[in-house]
Amino acid sequence: MILWGRLNSHNVKKVAWLAEELGIGYERRDIGGQFGFTAAYLAMNPNRLIPTIEHEGVVLWESNAILRYLAARFPEGGFWPADPAERARGDKWMDWQFGYADAQRDAFVNLVRRPEGERDMGAVEASRAATAKMMAILDDALAETGWLSGERFGIGDIPMGVYAHTWFGLNLADRSLSRVADWYARLRERPGYASQVMIPLT
Q: Write down all domains in the chain, each with its CATH number in brackets.
A: 2-77 (3.40.30.10), 84-194 (1.20.1050.10)
Residue pair 92/183 in contact (Cβ under 8 Å)? The answer is no
Pairing label, strands 27-29, 2-4: parallel
Distance between CA atoms of residues 160 and 35, nearest Å: 26
Provide the pLDDT for residue 142: 97
Which DSSP letter does residue 62 get?
S
Alpha-carbon separation of residue 16 from 19, 95, 98, 111 (angstroms)? 5, 19, 18, 24
What does DSSP say about strands 52-55 and 58-61: parallel, antiparallel, or unpaired? antiparallel
Inter-residue contact 10 to 165 (CB < 8 Å): no
CA–CA dist 65, 172 (Å, integer): 28
Handedness of CA 172, 200, 90, 180 (dihedral sign): negative
Q: How far is CA 152 from CA 72, 81, 146, 160, in A?
A: 17, 11, 7, 15
Q: What is the pTM of this model?
A: 0.96
Q: What pLDDT is recorded for position 175? A: 85
Per-residue pLDDT of the chain (202 residues; tens, 9 = 90+): 999 999 999 999 999 999 999 999 999 999 999 999 999 999 999 999 999 999 999 999 999 999 999 999 999 999 999 999 999 999 999 999 999 999 999 999 999 999 999 999 999 999 999 999 999 999 999 999 999 999 999 999 999 999 999 999 999 998 899 999 999 999 999 999 999 999 999 9
> Hey, how many other C-beta atoms are within 10 angstroms of the C-beta on 147?
20
